Structure 1
């Protein structure tokens, strides 16, 4: 039985438990004339929770643990002689899983055709032919031992899935009557239900923290493994980026950091002034009708997919800059350049600056404006000397958000700036960024045991530390300004 069907059965049992619990509470109250501690619906909620929650937790735990157990058992069946020289056992296990999935598809296809097939009785040649029928292509060097391991993998997975179905449904079916017989007028059903809701809220609030810890932990661990293979001094101070998956790589981060900051600075030079002027106009000068049209139109820019911006940079902006600026000035002949990516990215992040700054400026108390006008200031003087200083901390936050968005962008850089890692001040030259190289190093059939692959985690951790440092500096500046202003 599929996991989704199991969950549906559990939810049906929980709904049945809710109806029975509510009816039982009403009947107890009517028969004894005793006032219930909680509303009847809470009693139904208690039965529903007791029926569904333990069963769902068991289901999740089983789905997480079973693949690890099955894979460890099957991995023990594969001898070291089967593993290719220089390869890894994980790659062989990937073939085992792929063949096992293919065998399951073979059985499903045979069942639909009304013809049974005994997968266990098939030899390696027949298994290969059957897998080809369902679109699973295998190389000619797949050993017979791998086929046998795949059969065992599928058999153990099916058996474990059957046990899971029985255990989970049995737990839900057993929990329902046990909760039902505990219902009485004095049961604190509301307290139990609300305690569960509080626990769920607490777990939800911890998701962001635990996710951050998990991300940082994985980056730190993989980066440590990388630095055991590649010198940290060469990574941080080398000016050459030349990964070679067959050895002899030079993995210096400086060209990538230069390209990242170069593109981001150009985009901020475009987005920050335009975004701030839009925000000031919308909040201080535009009428309600104009604002209702202009602001949604600007925010549409934030909803355009980045791949569309990348295509716009590749097809329109890049050739325009090359034909009318780069080639006439003798600065380059490529349509991919830092300036192309920076201009298009600046247009993309304009809504981040304008929309947030507009909301922040509107939050400035009207009493500050009225006091400035009472002292004889004009509207422009009020904006420059009162409104913008009061809104500065929030505006700094909006600019930081836009900067983070620019630093983390990938598609626009790939299509607009190219993939050349080099140190150059010419904005019409093709360069690349850290995020682009993270993607390129993890793309393709690569093994997570080489410096050329693990360097992606070192790049990600470096970018994370730089972004965190920028946020800390900005927070310090904002706090210092607030102390002076107040």
Structure 2
């Protein structure tokens, strides 16, 4: 039974429990809802929630725990020469198991059993089914894959049985407890509160999961690659197979260079647009201009990348780089920075506009009463009052620029080097994270695991910017009545 069908069955049983619970509550008082402690719907919800919530929680926990248990059980069967690349062997094992699942529907059981005894023939059948394997199938890995597939099937059957029993038990117990004096509303509200708390903790748990995965794989990387070379080398030259130079600073330099150019473009334009919209524009102009600017935030970054590749890059090359003798490539830091700056304009303008509008009108009126002009009021009253929030908006835009990938890939190229020439091709941390994890590579190699160290570095950098923005906003924010 598929996961989707099992979920639908549980939800259908919960919906049936709602109707049956509501009807049972009304029938217990002969159709007079005034004799019930709670509204009839609460009795129905008590049955529905008791049916669905425990069963779905067990289902989610099972889906999370079972793969880890299976991997620990099957990893012991892998050949000894795969001990240093367990993750790669497990990846091949899962591909073989999924390929066997595909072949099961198209081949007789006897033929499928024969294939599991012939690794070479099985590899050809898997290739024809769209499952690509990088090397010949090791008989031990094939045996582990068949055991993995059988264990996964047994685990899925046990999961269906346990979830169905829990749902049925919750349905029966909740329905049996229905009586007129049952405090159904209190039960439903308490259970709903727990569900809401669980939903709110998902974001926290996800954050901890992301950090834990980055830290775990980064520690693995630093066990096989020197810590000092990564943080103090100025050379980035990965070579799959050994002999790599994985220095961090060329990528950091490209990231900061592109981000600074983007902020130089976006901050003045965005801030001036926010001042105009909040202080000078009429209602009709504002109602048109503000949504028009914010449309830029909804354009996919791949479209910005195409714009950089086709339009901005050749323009800068033909009109600036070549005439000045600074380069002949359309991929450059300036190209990516300009396009990324255009993308960041709505981030700066919208946040700054909201912050400027939050300054009380009484401060403006007081300035006008002292004889100041509108421009003087903006410069000497409004902007100083809104400055902490504007700084926070700029820092948040900077963190957005640091994490951008597609514009850099298509606009700045992939050359990892340190140069002051803005018309040369460079790259960023995010681009190299993608490139190191793309393709059929050995997951246990430092050339692949370096992506996690880069990701952890980038995470710490953007986290520091976001924390700094929050500190500035909270420390210097004025509280107006």
**TM-score normalized by the length of structure 2:** 0.92
The one of 144, 160, 165 aligned to 1:165: 160
Please report the RMSD computed on the Cα atoms of aligned residues, expressed in angstroms: 2.6
8 Å CA contact 1:226, 1:455 repeated in 2? yes
Q: Name 1:119's counterpart in structure 2.
A: 112
How many positions carry a matched residue from both structures? 479
Change (3 A) 1:257 1:126: closer
1:154 match: secondary structure: helix
Query: In structure 2, how many angstroms separate the alpha carbons of the residues matched to 1:376 and 1:70?
Result: 77
The one of 460, 466, 469 aligned to 2:461: 466
TM superposition shift of 1:203: 1.9
The one of 389, 409, 414 aligned to 2:409: 414
Query: In structure 1, how many angstroms separate the alpha carbons of the residues matched to 2:97 and 2:239?
Result: 34
Query: In structure 2, how many angstroms separate the alpha carbons of the residues matched to 1:478 and 1:163?
Result: 53
Pairing 1:289–2:278 present = no
Query: In structure 2, how many angstroms separate the alpha carbons of the residues matched to 1:260 and 1:100?
Result: 41
Q: Give unpaired runs (5+ residues) of structure 1.
A: none
Query: In structure 2, how many angstroms separate the alpha carbons of the residues matched to 1:194 and 1:485?
Result: 37
1:456 match: secondary structure: helix
Query: In structure 2, how many angstroms separate the alpha carbons of the residues matched to 1:361 and 1:69?
Result: 55
TM superposition shift of 1:62: 2.4
TM superposition shift of 1:261: 1.1
TM superposition shift of 1:479: 5.4
The one of 388, 391, 402 aligned to 1:393: 388
Query: In structure 2, how many angstroms separate the alpha carbons of the residues matched to 1:52 and 1:225?
Result: 40
8 Å CA contact 2:230, 2:246 repeated in 1? yes
Query: In structure 1, how many angstroms separate the alpha carbons of the residues matched to 2:79 and 2:227?
Result: 36
Query: In structure 1, how many angstroms separate the alpha carbons of the residues matched to 2:88 and 2:290?
Result: 52
Correspondences of 1:143-222 after superposition (within 5 Å): 143-222=138-217
TM superposition shift of 1:34: 7.8
The one of 328, 332, 335 aligned to 1:337: 332
Q: Name 2:99's counterpart in structure 1.
A: 102
TM superposition shift of 1:180: 1.0
TM superposition shift of 1:133: 4.7
TM superposition shift of 1:318: 1.1
Query: In structure 2, how many angstroms separate the alpha carbons of the residues matched to 1:428 and 1:346?
Result: 16
TM superposition shift of 1:4: 0.7
Stretch moving more, 313-322 or 87-96 = 87-96
8 Å CA contact 1:120, 1:151 repeated in 2? no
Q: Give unpaired runs (5+ residues) of structure 2.
A: none
2:327 match: secondary structure: coil
TM superposition shift of 1:208: 2.5
Stretch moving more, 212-221 or 425-434 = 212-221
Stretch moving more, 248-257 or 69-78 = 69-78
Q: Name 1:348's counterpart in structure 2.
A: 343
Q: Name 1:62's counterpart in structure 2.
A: 62
